[in-house]
């Protein structure tokens, strides 16, 4: 009976196909945006900081801009599809928004301590907060990006953000937040065995079943 239960648990779908496909498309688009953004930044640095050309995408400024604009639309369309799915399927409410402020305040230290012990397919409070921040950051990057792309056409937005130069600073800070999120996200995925595999297959891996049984 126990073997049957374990086998059934391993076959359980925890990441629907739509979520997996949009996740990997988003991952590719965000990676390309970050790498091409480094090349664009190097062409007109804001700070006393330059990024190694080996990390940049596009080869030259025009090439980087082409990559950046193309991936902007990929991320926007794919992100809207994921957003629509998340809202209408209840995915966001179940996975990200089902926690209270007081619960987060009381449990954040405990969740940080047990960050790597969460069940796959389940998000603890710390993860939920990080994902919500990441989504909000992407929205900020999109609107500041519009300002940098078409400052005259989006003059109202440009003025609201404090001008073109201020929008550049906000965009850079947003990129830094996104890069930090990716480092944490990938680090946790690599540390928790089976996480990446489950995002490919959609099913619980053997290590994840064992972790659930120990809880």
Quick one: pLDDT at residue 87? 80
Quick one: pLDDT at residue 157? 94
Q: In this structure, what token pair is assigned to residue 179?
A: 């890069």
Cα–Cα dist 97/18, whole Å:
20
Q: Which residue has the tokens 């926690």?
A: 99
Cα–Cα dist 210/215, whole Å:
9
Q: In this structure, what token pair is assigned to residue 122?
A: 């389940």
Q: In this structure, what token pair is assigned to residue 104?
A: 């987060």
Quick one: pLDDT at residue 210? 52
Residue 199 DSSP class:
H
Quick one: pLDDT at residue 84? 87
Cα–Cα dist 130/182, whole Å:
10
Complete domains list, the chain, with CATH: 2-214 (1.20.950.20)
Q: How far is CA 36 from the centre of its chain?
A: 17
CA distance to 73, 105, 131, 134, 156, per residue, from 77 (Å): 6, 35, 19, 17, 24
pLDDT tens for the chain, 215 residues: list them. 444 444 455 556 777 888 889 999 999 999 999 999 999 999 999 999 999 989 999 888 999 999 999 999 999 999 999 888 888 877 666 655 555 555 555 555 555 555 544 555 556 667 777 888 998 999 999 999 999 999 999 999 999 999 999 999 999 999 999 999 999 888 888 887 777 788 778 777 655 555 545 54
């Amino acid at each position: 009976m126990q073997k049957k239960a374990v086998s059934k648990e391993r076959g359980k779908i925890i990441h629907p196909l739509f979520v997996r496909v949009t996740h990997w498309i988003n991952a590719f688009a965000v990676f390309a945006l970050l790498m091409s953004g480094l090349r664009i930044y190097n062409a007109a640095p804001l700070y006393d900081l330059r990024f190694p050309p080996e990390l940049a995408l596009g080869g030259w400024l025009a090439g980087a801009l082409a990559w950046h604009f193309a991936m902007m639309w990929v991320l926007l369309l794919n992100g809207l599809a994921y957003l629509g799915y998340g809202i209408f399927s209840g995915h966001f409410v179940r996975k990200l928004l089902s926690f209270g402020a007081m619960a987060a305040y009381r449990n954040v230290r405990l969740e940080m301590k047990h960050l790597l012990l969460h069940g796959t397919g389940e998000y603890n409070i710390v993860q939920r907060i990080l994902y919500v921040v990441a989504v909000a950051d992407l929205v900020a990057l999109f609107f500041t990006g519009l300002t940098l792309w078409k400052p005259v056409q989006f003059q109202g937005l440009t003025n609201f953000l404090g001008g073109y130069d201020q929008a550049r600073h906000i965009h850079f800070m947003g990129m830094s937040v996104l890069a930090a999120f990716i480092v944490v996200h990938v680090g946790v995925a690599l540390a928790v065995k089976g996480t990446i595999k489950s995002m490919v297959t959609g099913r619980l891996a053997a290590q994840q079943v064992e972790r659930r049984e120990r809880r």
